[in-house]
Structure 1
Amino acid sequence: MIDVTQSPALEIAIEGSLSRIRERAAELGPAFGALGEAIAGAARGGKRFRPALVAASFDAFDAPDRHAAAVLSVATAFELLHAAFVVHDDVIDHDLVRRGVPNVAGRFRLRGRQLGADADGAAQLGDAAAILAGDLLLHEAVRLVAMADVDADVRERLLTLLDDAVFVSAAGELADVENSVAPDCAPVEQVFDAAFNKTAVYSFRAPLQAGAVLGGASPEAIVLLGHAGGRLGLAFQLVDDLIGAFGSPEQAGRESGGDLREAKRTPLVALARESADATRLDATLALARTGPVAVRDARRALDASGARGRLRDMITDTLSEVRATSRGDDLTPAAGELLREIADGIEGRIP
């Protein structure tokens, strides 16, 4: 999507914040010290594309030299914000493993059993630790922006972007859970809104705008980046939905067809249910959890419904809109090129 090979300076900034969390936690006893270590583990690895977007957007404008240090703090903040959402999301989904190893909740369940707790007690400890870990990561993200070496008006604009990212993402998460537990599939528009809110703002729109604010971009350029960032975020999420159903294990980072096995009500499924035979489709999708043959049947049903093709067309149209926006007169050539580069990367992920 973009070159996410991070500079040593950014990696040092991220590790510096994680070290601060570990050191503060260690001062408050062994249990909290263990939580600090788990937090650091949860925030390591990953693609780091959110901080890369902050840095790339900053570089795309006539960036003031005095903000060179601040961009590292703000970029780190968006990476820790992502880590916080991932930790909380695992609690919501009752997941105990992330990237093949125990996550925060999983680690503290094991700790609970080692302390002699029964299964319920260990689960309670694991959930409590993960909730607190996510809270501390959120706090650290806000602290980094609040203490960045910038003028008061720039700090206020950055905090407003962060505030919007947190609120919109939380709204999307709640809507996603509500859609998943309701007996009937929500309307297509409602499912798409949840998908957008859950990911697009904090992963694309806010990082691009934050980098531009630090880079001295004009108000008009920041508005354009906000619009394009939202569209890029939506396209990215829709591609993820296609990967979750049709992608290879390498693309998905797990067993192929994972979203179908978990019966997720994604925009892809919502579009498919608009087909003539929704009842038969529901029955086919409900069997996907039973094994590879049923997953293949579910894929065929989604293809036959036309939903896969419709979603691909939506992604293509959305990215075309971004490319048109990227040529706006209020953007620098470098900013326009950045948007097109991101669009090309997202399009290249379509399975």
Structure 2
Amino acid sequence: MLEIDADAVLRRLTEQGRARAAAVDRHHLLLWDALDLALQGGKRFRPRLVMATHDALGGVRPGAAAEVGAAIEMLHTAFVIHDDVIDDDHVRRGRPNVSGTFRADATSSGAGALAAGGYGLAAAVLAGDLALAAALRTVATCDAPPDVVHGLLDLFDLALHTTAAGELADVRLALGTAAVTLDESLQMEELKTSAYSFALPLQAGSVLAGAEPPTTTRLGEAGRSLGLAFQLVDDLIGVFGDPEQSGKSATGDLRTGKQTPLLVHARSTPQWEAISSFVGRDLETAELDDVRDLLASSGSRAFVETLVEEHLVAAREVLADMGVSLDFVDELMARPPLVVAGQGTAA
């Protein structure tokens, strides 16, 4: 039921946004069309985490939980749109993203490549800003007492600061000006993903349910562990995944030299000299197969898979103690299969 309610809230938000945009400018309305498209798809696990926690802790505000869950999904969309700008990606889930859509529109209107690219990036920044504003407004106007709303806004504010720090660290660590340690890489991933995708919805559900602060704190710790596991799996998919199933490029992380734990660990292995020749440039299919083989034979893939399981175990222990369904958590980690030498294998 929650998935339907959260989707209903998101539809209302985009309809309201369209109405406001239409009163301003028809080109501005196109931003909301692109934002609506960016919201499509996905498992809506963030709203589901809010409600699962809210229900497990005896909450009595399902309407507010649906609003807050939708707000977190809108926040996620804002971050995704901006992340694509940072990474200079123009495709998401196998189709043009916001920047890709507006770039194509400008090109079809006769704009040159540079101008069209700038237009696409501007549209993506603005669409992400609109999504961010809509998310915060939704929390501020949700059907909950003022003290609860203030607590939720504090959580959102912390998630915003944490995620911004993680995104900046992601780019900074890829500068190549200093060797990146495994601790630095793991901290970056925790800041970038765990705070808003997992700790925030778990803690928001706790606050909505009126739980005591120690409970909310423990759920934040579980969220950080769960989020790190999720991000590590995403890193694996970013190299070993099938783009047709995941909607994620299998060469983007290597091309941009992202300092994921996968690559940081690989740097410590004898295979690094060979692996490094594939980092920082576009790869052909045969080259991608070669670097996949090297990352597997070096033990880096297995190392990351072990980290995933360790963090999942830590999160499951806390969530089980809180009564949050473990089946639900396991469902969250059911990601697209990975590819090894052309053969699918579950992640």
Measured against aligned partners, the alpha-carbon deviations of 1:84-123 in whole angstroms (never above 9, x if no partner) come to 0111111112222222332222222233345553333222
**5+ residue gaps, structure 1:** none
How far the C-alpha of 1:348 sits from its partner, in A, is: 7.2
Provide, for residues 297-331 of structure 1, a one-character-per-residue CA deviation record: whole Å limited to 9, x for no partner: 21222223222222222121212222332344xx2
Please say if 1:268 is aligned against 2:255: no
Moved more, 74-83 or 273-282: 273-282
Instruction: Specify the alignment match of 1:201 in structure 2.
Output: 195
Moved more, 257-266 or 135-144: 257-266
1:346 to 329, 333, 336: 333
**Alignment of structure 1 residues 157-306 onto 2, 5 Å:** 157-249=151-243, 251-254=245-248, 259-260=253-254, 263-276=257-270, 278-283=272-277, 285-286=278-279, 289-306=282-299
Which amino acid in structure 1 is aligned with residue 219 of structure 2? L
Moved more, 162-171 or 269-278: 269-278
Q: What's 1:313 paired with?
A: 306
Q: Is the 8 A contact 1:213 1:222 kept in 2?
A: yes
Please name the residue that 1:117 is paired with.
111
- Greater shift, 228-237 or 103-112, is seen at 103-112
Choose which of 17, 33, 46 in structure 2 pairs with 1:50.
Answer: 46
Q: Percent identity?
A: 40
Instruction: Give the CA deviation at 1:40.
Output: 1.6
State the AA in 2 paired with 1:93.
Answer: D
The correspondence of residues 328-343 of structure 1 with structure 2, limited to 5 A, is: 328=321, 331=322, 333=323, 335=324, 337-338=325-326, 341-343=328-330
1:85 has 2:71 as partner: no
Q: Does 1:325 align with 2:325?
A: no
Report the equivalent of 1:138: 132
1:12 — aligned with what?
8
Give a deviation string over 1:239-277, Cα, whole Å, max 9, x none: 111222223446533565654465433211101111245
Deviates more, 1:190-199 or 1:271-280: 271-280
Report the CA distance between 1:172 and its aligned residue.
0.7
Q: Quickly say closer, same or farther: Cα 1:289–1:132, change in 2 above 3 A.
A: closer
- 1:116/1:323 CA distance change after superposition, 3 Å: closer
Separation (CA, whole Å) in 2 of partners of 1:348 and 1:132: 30
- Match of residue 32 from structure 1: 28
How many Å apart are 1:53 and its aligned residue? 1.1
Give me the TM-score of the superposition, normalised by structure 2.
0.89
CA distance in 2, matches of 1:107, 1:278: 38
- Of stretches 31-40 and 99-108 in structure 1, the one that deviates more from structure 2 is 99-108
Q: Say if 1:255 and 1:149 are closer, same or farther in 2 by CA, change over 3 A.
A: closer
CA–CA separation in structure 2 for the residues paired with 1:62 and 1:91? 41
**Residue pair 2:50, 2:204 contacting (<8 A) in 1 also:** yes
- Identify the range of structure 1 (34-43 vs 206-215) with the bigger mean alpha-carbon deviation: 34-43
Q: Considering only aligned residues, what root-mean-square deviation do their CA atoms show, in Å?
A: 2.4
In structure 1, give the amino acid aligned to 2:117: A
Question: Letter of the aligned partner of 1:85 in structure 2?
Answer: F
How far apart, CA to CA, are the structure 1 residues paired with 2:138 and 2:74? Answer: 10
**Count, aligned residues:** 338
Counterpart of 1:228 in structure 2: which amino acid?
A
Compute the TM-score of the two structures, normalised by the length of structure 1: 0.88
Q: Is the 8 A contact 2:173 2:258 kept in 1?
A: no
Are the counterparts in 2 of residues 247 and 257 from structure 1 also a CA contact under 8 Å?
no
